[in-house]
Amino acid sequence: MDDYDYITSEEIEKIKVAMESNGLERAAAVIQAHLESSDNVELNIAITGESGSGKSTFVNAFRGLDDEHPEAASSGVTETTVVPTKYTYPKFDKVFIWDLPGIGTPNFKAEEYLEKVNFKTYDFFIIIASERFKSSGVQLANEIQKMKKTFYFVRSKIDDSLRAAQRRKNYNEEETLELIQQDCVRGLQELDICSPKVFLISSFELNLYDFPKLEETIEKELPKHKRHVLLLTLPNMSFQVNERKRKSFRANIWKLATVSCLVATVPIPGLSVVCDVTILVTELRKYYKAFGLDDESLQNLANRVKKPIQELKSVLKSPLTAEISKDVVIKLLTKFAGAKYMVVEYVFTNIPVIGSVIAGSISYKTTSMMLHSCLNELADDASNVLKKAFESEM
């Protein structure tokens, strides 16, 4: 099975049993319950590191916000976080990013720190340093590992380091990044970290350096049932993330189309059409939010790249970027599937056995094809927005 297709063998067995013993209606309910449970998965991300390393700015960047946003974490040159502070993602209330107090004091003890910040809460830790990683970060990593949690080393403020290096003769950005990477890895190895991975990040230029690689690595190492929810919340700041979101949503389409198909076999006229519209509205709104095509997300991106929001909106082509409502979806459905769609399905629903099979097939194909089409439209719009946002840098 595809990595993004995280329905388990146990879930498939439940669907099979439901179909064999309780009929198609029960099978549809099992699939629907699986889809709803995946939307309610909670994810907790911990951000820690030395005071002044840029933790709070990174928290904001990971949420797709700049430091001036009303809901941004407080940032500054001195430590501004004294207790674990929880922040939600805009539009996704099941994912939390925690700004933890700074580490690195002379009397720092990693095990006491983790107990104090309630380490069991978090799915993984990101340990940030703005220069070389020090012993406190290594202590913390070792304790996290003992507790069977995952951690990532992030070297922040890489844009500042590059600006400083530009004053040297024969400056080469690629070579400079490689030297910084090697220095961080060597420093961690000297402190007995085996084969460390270090990601070079600028919180102000998320499309550059190792931010996309960090996101991809975290996503791959999460349990399958949490990957999709992470992808939903990632700021749409790179083409790689955009394509992974498209792939993840695509993996869900067969499940949604199957629910539509199974409901269509129930001999209640009009039920299937109502179900199809509900499925489409709900899923298309997820696409819209996850690809960052709502006004708030576009404004946040415009602020980060210092361009007018109307310039970003000028490349939007899909009618779904204007509104996703039941009326809009019904119009698209009749246009996409043909004006006879509802009548044909209604007629076949009332024919015993063979009519239900035909109605189910019509519903499956229509829902599947329309979701694929709309997903590609919105993902393409998101890619076009990114091109417009960063066109001077490409």
Mark whether 54 and 191 lie in a shared domain.
yes
Could you tell me if residue 260 is inside a domain?
yes
Could you tell me if residue 220 is inside a domain?
yes
Mark whether 314 and 355 lie in a shared domain.
yes
pLDDT for 392 equals 64
- In one-letter notation, the amino acid at residue 188 is L
**Burial zone of 71 (CB within 10 Å; 0-12 exposed, 13-18 middle, 19+ buried):** exposed
Which of 231, 263, 296 is the last residue in one of the domains? 231
Which of 210, 231, 252 is the last residue in one of the domains? 231
pLDDT for 69 equals 82
Q: Are 60 and 73 in contact (CB under 8 A)?
A: yes
Mark whether 14 and 91 lie in a shared domain.
no
Mark whether 34 and 52 lie in a shared domain.
no
Could you tell me if residue 3 is inside a domain?
no
Mark whether 191 and 246 lie in a shared domain.
no
Mark whether 160 and 306 lie in a shared domain.
no
Q: Are 364 and 341 in contact (CB under 8 A)?
A: no
What would the pLDDT profile of 31-74 be if each residue is shown by its tens digit? 666 666 666 788 999 999 888 888 889 998 888 888 888 888 87
pLDDT for 341 equals 47
Strands 85-89 and 92-99 turn out to be antiparallel
Q: What is the crossing angle of helices 239-264 and 354-390, to 10°?
A: 160
Could you tell me if residue 250 is inside a domain?
yes
Mark whether 155 and 303 lie in a shared domain.
no
Query: Quick one: CA torsion of 362, 366, 367, 373, rounded to 10 degrees?
Result: 160
Mark whether 47 and 184 lie in a shared domain.
yes
Query: How many domains is the chain built from?
Result: 2
Mark whether 61 and 109 lie in a shared domain.
yes
Mark whether 197 and 321 lie in a shared domain.
no
Q: Are 97 and 47 in contact (CB under 8 A)?
A: yes
Query: If we measure between CA atoms, which residue out of 115, 116, 141 comes closest to residue 126?
Result: 141
Mark whether 315 and 361 lie in a shared domain.
yes
Could you tell me if residue 1 is inside a domain?
no
The pLDDT profile of the chain, 394 residues, written as one tens digit per residue, is: 444 444 555 655 665 565 556 555 565 566 666 666 666 788 999 999 888 888 889 998 888 888 888 888 877 555 555 788 999 887 778 889 999 988 877 778 888 889 889 899 999 999 999 988 888 898 899 999 888 899 999 999 999 999 999 988 889 999 999 999 999 999 999 888 888 889 999 988 888 899 889 988 998 899 887 888 888 888 888 888 899 899 889 988 887 887 777 665 544 444 445 567 777 888 898 899 899 999 988 998 898 888 999 999 999 998 888 778 888 877 777 776 554 444 444 444 444 444 444 556 777 778 888 889 899 999 999 999 999 998 865 4
Residues spanned by the domain of 335: 9-40+238-393
Could you tell me if residue 177 is inside a domain?
yes
Token code pair at residue 236: 């749409």
pLDDT for 22 equals 59
Mark whether 310 and 349 lie in a shared domain.
yes
Which of 175, 210, 231 is the last residue in one of the domains? 231
pLDDT for 108 equals 80
